[in-house]
């Protein structure tokens, strides 16, 4: 019997994904709000992430301990994540755990306690999280490159915010912010695994069917890639380099061309960067490329970790490989990159939580779901000409963003990268 993933819309606008996976003994539930840090102004930077923390301090009739214990008592796991364009609340559980999971997550989204004392303590926790990120150079360098790439847009600010912006939050302010972030017209309830359609829809209506619309308009200005350089000298054993170039958004026709370009450039051990920078020259242990896409903007990125003395040469190699790939890719390399991309996408589909999150993302971005066959067809349709056109577009504006973190000899790498692009 053929089973399919389906998208349904409740009367109040909440969208529900039913994604059965026959043979599984577990379920995955993601309740995803289609808003995040990209919708914050500077004064509220980090509030979406802080709110995600705060709802776990107590919701409905459950304390913070009750929330986790009631899920774990049935063999489940509960988690959450805040991004620039979405906030996700997730439960993994044994078959039959959907009822409880839906009830707990609806409490988190709709009925958080938001206690003043909890907020004071959680501000301290988030301050330590901000400090931890700053102490992790391979994380912090990505905050630096975001700041360089996106100018005054919220994408330029870290999702965690700053200590000052987080400390400015009040219970009243967070309550109002919750009403704007978690609203019916931007909420997806996505269920994968051992789930039955009737149960999914009945529970979604019970828990989210009376959810109100947003308490106010909440929009994000279009992002514009401005480029620039950020560097910080630190006494580190390794220099951390990130380079970014403007690309296409998740909604543009060349989205899959960008994913394939990143795959061929630095997606695996056969990629150009790995072979040239690591295998041939021994410049870096970790080096990879990635596509960073949002609803209305996107970028091609490269990360490398290397000795400070090798940073300039590594930057030059990165630029040369981007330029070379933009100029030419043969059929065998293109086929290999397509195969790797499809493998990444379809292997993720073997995990219920990944499927639930992927479906929620599609519903938020396109208000529809894509079958594996449609995704494969889109990947296979990308041609050599498509990659060359994309490459010209990426290099055309001559806008590069770079972030360098490490000993002083490494700091010139950003300038070297820009020069080597031509």
Residue 1 predicted with pLDDT over 50: no
pLDDT value at residue 216: 63
Report the range of poorest mean pLDDT among 31-45, 209-223, 400-414: 209-223
Give per-residue pLDDT as tens, 383-415: 999 999 999 999 987 789 999 999 999 999 999
Q: What pLDDT score does 220 carry?
A: 78
**CATH number for the domain whose boundaries are 6-208:** 3.30.830.10
**Among residues 217, 187, 213, 194, which one has the least CA distance to residue 9?**
187
Query: Taking Cα atoms as reference points, which of 247, 269, 270, 275 lies closest to residue 259?
Result: 247
The least confident of 185-199, 207-221, 360-374, 394-408 is: 207-221
For the domain made up of 228-420, the CATH class stated in words is alpha beta
Please say if the pLDDT value at position 83 is more than 50: yes
Name the packing angle between helices 311-327 and 255-266 (round to 10°): 130
pLDDT for 145-154, tens place per residue? 999 999 999 9
Question: What pLDDT score does 422 carry?
Answer: 82
Mean pLDDT, residues 157-170 taken together: 98
pLDDT in tens, 94-124: 999 999 999 999 999 999 999 999 999 999 9
Write the DSSP assignment of 139-203 as a string of letters: HHHHHHHHHHHHTTSGGGS-TT--HHHHHT--HHHHHHHHHHHS-GGGEEEEEEES--HHHHHHH
Instruction: Tell me the pTM.
Output: 0.95
Structure confidence at residue 213 (pLDDT): 77
> Which H or E element spans position 388?
helix 384-395
Neighbours of 110 (CB within 10 A): 18
Residue 292, pLDDT score: 97
pLDDT at 207 over 70: yes
Tell me the average pLDDT of the chain.
96
pLDDT given for residue 46 in this prediction: 98
From residue 75, give the alpha-carbon distance in Å to each of 18, 40, 69.
22, 36, 10
Contact between residue 253 and residue 381 where contact means Cβ atoms under 8 Å apart: no
- pLDDT of 246 higher than 80: yes
Q: 6-208 and 228-420: same fold?
A: yes
Q: What is the pLDDT of residue 193?
A: 98
pLDDT at 221 over 90: no
Please tell me the predicted confidence (pLDDT) of residue 2.
55
Q: What percent of the chain has pLDDT over 70?
A: 99
Residue 136: what pLDDT? 97
∠ CA 68-74-75, nearest 5°, is 85
Q: Which residues pair with 191 in a beta bridge?
A: 18, 29
Which candidate, 240, 343, 232, places its Cα nearest to that of 301? 240
Sheet holding 187-193, edge to edge: 6-9, 15-20, 187-193, 26-33, 87-94, 77-82
The pLDDT score that the predictor gives to residue 215 is 63
Domain residue ranges of the chain, discontinuous segments joined by +: 6-208, 228-420
Quote the pLDDT of residue 158. 97
Mean pLDDT of 29-42: 96
Is a pLDDT exceeding 60 seen at residue 259? yes
Structure tokens at 351: 């995990």
Residues in a beta bridge with 33: 87, 187
What's the CA dihedral at 35, 38, 40, 43 to 10 degrees?
150
- Backbone torsion region of residue 357, taken as left when φ is above 0, otherwise alpha when ψ lies between -120 and 50, otherwise beta: alpha
């Amino acid at each position: 019997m053929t089973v399919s993933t389906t998208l349904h819309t409740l009367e109040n606008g909440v969208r529900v994904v039913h994604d059965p996976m026959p043979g599984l003994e577990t379920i995955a539930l993601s309740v995803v709000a289609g808003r995040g840090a990209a919708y914050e102004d500077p004064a509220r930077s980090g509030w979406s992430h802080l709110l995600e923390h705060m709802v776990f301090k107590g919701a409905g009739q459950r304390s913070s301990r009750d929330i986790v214990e009631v899920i774990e008592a049935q063999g489940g796991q509960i988690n959450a994540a805040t991004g620039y364009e979405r906030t996700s609340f997730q439960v993994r559980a044994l078959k039959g755990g959907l009822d409880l999971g839906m009830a707990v997550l609806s409490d988190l989204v709709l009925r958080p306690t938001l206690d003043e004392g909890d907020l004071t303590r959680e501000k301290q926790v988030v301050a330590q999280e901000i400090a931890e990120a700053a102490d992790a150079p391979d994380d912090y360098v990505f905050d630096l490159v975001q700041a360089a790439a996106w100018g005054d847009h919220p994408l330029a600010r870290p999702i965690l915010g700053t200590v000052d912006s987080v400390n400015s939050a009040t219970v009243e302010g967070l309550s109002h912010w919750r009403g704007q972030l978690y609203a019916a017209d931007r909420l997806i309830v996505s269920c994968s695994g051992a789930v039955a359609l009737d149960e999914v829809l009945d529970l979604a209506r019970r828990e989210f069917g009376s959810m109100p619309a947003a308490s106010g308009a909440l929009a994000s200005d279009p992002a514009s890639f401005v480029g620039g350089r950020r560097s910080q000298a630190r006494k580190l054993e390794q220099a951390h380099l990130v380079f970014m170039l403007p690309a296409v958004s998740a909604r543009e026709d060349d989205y899959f061309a960008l994913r394939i370009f990143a795959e061929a450039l630095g997606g695996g051990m056969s990629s150009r960067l790995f072979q040239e920078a690591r295998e041939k020259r021994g410049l870096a242990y970790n080096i990879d490329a990635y596509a960073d896409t949002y609803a209305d903007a996107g970028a091609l990125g490269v990360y490398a970790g290397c000795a400070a003395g090798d940073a300039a040469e590594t930057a030059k190699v990165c630029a040369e490989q981007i330029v070379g790939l933009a100029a030419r890719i043969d059929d065998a390399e293109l086929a290999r990159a397509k195969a790797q991309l499809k493998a990444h996408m379809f292997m993720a589909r073997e995990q219920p939580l990944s499927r639930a999150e992927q479906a929620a993302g599609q519903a938020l971005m396109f208000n529809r779901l894509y079958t594996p066959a449609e995704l494969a067809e889109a990947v296979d349709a990308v041609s050599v000409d498509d990659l060359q056109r994309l490459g010209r577009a990426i290099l055309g504006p001559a806008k590069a963003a770079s972030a360098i973190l490490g000993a002083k000899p490494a700091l010139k790498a950003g300038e070297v990268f820009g020069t080597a692009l031509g």
